Structure 1
Amino acid sequence: MSKKILIVDDAVFMRMKLKDILEKNGYTVIAEAENGKEAFEKYQATQPDLVTMDITMPEVDGLEALKMIKEFDPAAKIVMCSAMGQQGMVMDAIRAGALDFIVKPFDTDRVIKAVDKVLV
């Protein structure tokens, strides 16, 4: 059975790009969210195997959403997505429980390597 993934990013284009990469590599994208508040609600509703989480988003950012999800489900598997130059925030995310991070723009091999590593 393919693994279920929740994609969280405020940019529609980034969600589409990531969904395309994941689905072409055998994963199932069961939901998408455009901010951290929506991410938390969709996580509760769908219980995905993995979340890809953008850091910078409106309403509730990725770090806050990460903390909310980890509080709800300490076993949650979350991979952060960040643009170049957000290393400090990535380190905060790792300390808060993120398992890996992917730098934008997305490189297919790096995305799949990170997802495979976390889902093993």
Structure 2
Amino acid sequence: MFGRRVLLADPDPDFRKSLKDVLQQHGYLVIAETEEGRSTLQAAFQHQPDIVLMEGELPGSRGLEIARIIDEHHLAPVVLITSRTNREILEEAKVSSILGFLIKPIEDFNIIPTLEVALATFKKLVRIEEENKKLKKKLEEQRLVEQAKRLLYEKKGFNEQLAHRYMQKVSMDRCCSLTKVAQLVINSLSK
């Protein structure tokens, strides 16, 4: 928890100061403060905070567009701060990438648990996305190997076991991956 870097985006300087004081008391470091949409986005890219605490209706932005862009680039989790429980903002927050929601006036005891849960959820989501990318890559590699074996079967008369052994031998002889061999086989036999 200690040393987490926070981007604080709210048009009210007095609110930012009081929230910054609370955050600092709990070991958080406010690395940037902004009051409108464009500067919030710039600060998020420049400072790469651990978490963004952001007013739901920042001047210079429409709806939660800033939060969506921050999420799209996987910069940090966004916790929304709003002074009213506007149904439209709530609905937009539910379908966007908001990982926490605080309503002004904020009770000090609500801030830290909300931030910590948002951070933990964000880390889980990032890890799941990385695992998903790895699985997709592995499936694509397997698809290429199977396609190459099928071509060896159809064009060279190999059975499946012989095609696999052939590709393994080429892989060892050339010191390259089975996937690279599969791509070579596909390129040479697909003509």
1:86 and 2:71 are equivalent in the alignment: no
In 2, Cα distance between equivalents of 1:66 and 1:58: 13
Larger Rg: 2
TM norm structure 2: 0.58
8 Å Cα contact 2:63-2:89 kept in structure 1: no
Number of the residue aligned with 2:65 = 64
8 Å Cα contact 1:66-1:93 kept in structure 2: no
Count of equivalent residues: 119
Residues 7-86 of structure 1 mapped to structure 2, 5 A cutoff? 7-61=8-62, 63-71=64-72, 73-74=73-74, 76-86=76-86
Residues 97-108 of structure 1 mapped to structure 2, 5 A cutoff? 97-108=97-108
Deviates more, 1:9-18 or 1:75-84: 75-84
TM norm structure 1: 0.90
Deviates more, 1:30-39 or 1:85-94: 85-94
Any unmatched runs of 5+ in structure 2?
A: 121-191
In 2, Cα distance between equivalents of 1:77 and 1:48: 9
Higher helix share: 2
Shift of residue 64, structure 1, vs aligned partner: 1.4
Q: Report the AA paired with residue 14 of structure 1.
A: F
Shift of residue 87, structure 1, vs aligned partner: 3.6
RMSD: 1.6
8 Å Cα contact 1:54-1:62 kept in structure 2: no
Q: Which runs of 4+ in 1 moved over 6 A?
A: none
8 Å Cα contact 2:53-2:81 kept in structure 1: yes
In 1, Cα distance between equivalents of 2:75 and 2:49: 11
In 1, Cα distance between equivalents of 2:119 and 2:100: 11
In 1, Cα distance between equivalents of 2:103 and 2:44: 22
Give the SS at the match of 2:105.
coil
Q: Report the AA paired with residue 24 of structure 1.
A: Q
Any unmatched runs of 5+ in structure 1?
A: none
8 Å Cα contact 2:56-2:80 kept in structure 1: yes
Higher strand share: 1
